[in-house]
Amino acid sequence: MKRLMVFILCLAFSAPAFAVVADKPLADPAKEAVARSLMKEIRCLVCQNESIDESDADLAKDLRGLIREHVAKGDSPKQIRQFLVDRYGDWVLLKPPVQPSTYLLWGSPFLFLILGGIAVMRRRVRANAPEPLSAEEEAKLKKLLRSKGDKA
Amino acid sequence: MQRFLPLIVVAALAALFLSMLLRDRNPHEIKSVMMGKESPAFTLPALLEADKQVTDDVLRTGHPVLVNFFASWCVPCRAEHANLMKLAKEHHIPIIGINYKDDPAKARAYLAELGDPYVTIAADLHGRTGIDWGVTGVPETFIVDGNGKIRDRLWGPVVVDSIEKKILPEIEAIK
Answer whether residue A12 shows pLDDT above 70. no
Yes or no, beta carbons of B127 and A62 under 8 Å apart: yes
Phi, psi angles (nearest 5°) of residue B149: -95, 135
| Regions of chain B with pLDDT less than 70 | 1
CB B152 within 8 A of CB B143: yes
Q: Please indicate if any CB of chain B lies within 8 Å of the CB of A87.
A: yes
**Quick check: A66 contacting B, CB < 8 Å?**
yes
DSSP string, A50-105: SBTTT---HHHHHHHHHHHHHHHHT--HHHHHHHHHHHH-GGGBSS---SGGGHHH
Domain range annotation of chain B: 34-174
Q: Which domain holds residue A131?
A: 105-151
Q: Are residues A6 and A60 both part of a single domain? A: yes
The reply to whether A80 and A112 lie within a common domain is no
Between the CA of residue B150 and those of A61, B60, B106, what are the distances in Å? 27, 11, 29
Same domain, A85 and A15: yes
Would you say B84 and B112 are in contact if contact means Cβ atoms under 8 Å apart?
no
Beta-strand relationship, B65-70 and B95-100: parallel
Find the CB nearest A87 among B28, B126, B132.
B132
A82 and A116 in a single domain? The answer is no
Average pLDDT of chain A to the nearest whole number = 85
Cβ neighbors of B14 (< 8 A, separation 6 or more) are none
CATH number of B34-174: 3.40.30.10
Number of structural domains (chain A) is 2
Q: Do A38 and A80 sit in the same domain of this protein?
A: yes
Tell whether A126 and A84 lie within a shared domain. no
Test the A interface: residue of B31, B33, B39 with most A CBs within 10 Å:
B33
Same domain, A43 and A63: yes
Same domain flag for A93 and A125: no
Q: What local confidence, expressed as pLDDT, does residue B91 receive?
A: 94
Residue A152 has pLDDT above 70, yes or no: no
The pLDDT tens digits of the residues spanning B13-33 come to 999 999 988 887 777 777 888
Q: What is the pLDDT of residues A48-95, one digit of tens each?
A: 889 999 999 999 999 999 999 999 999 999 999 999 999 999 989 999
Please check the confidence at residue A119 and state whether its pLDDT lies above 70. Answer: yes
**CA dist A55 to A151, B14, B135, B169, Å?**
90, 34, 17, 39
Residue B132 to residue B140: CA distance in whole angstroms: 13
The closest CB to that of B131, out of A46, A66, A85, belongs to A66
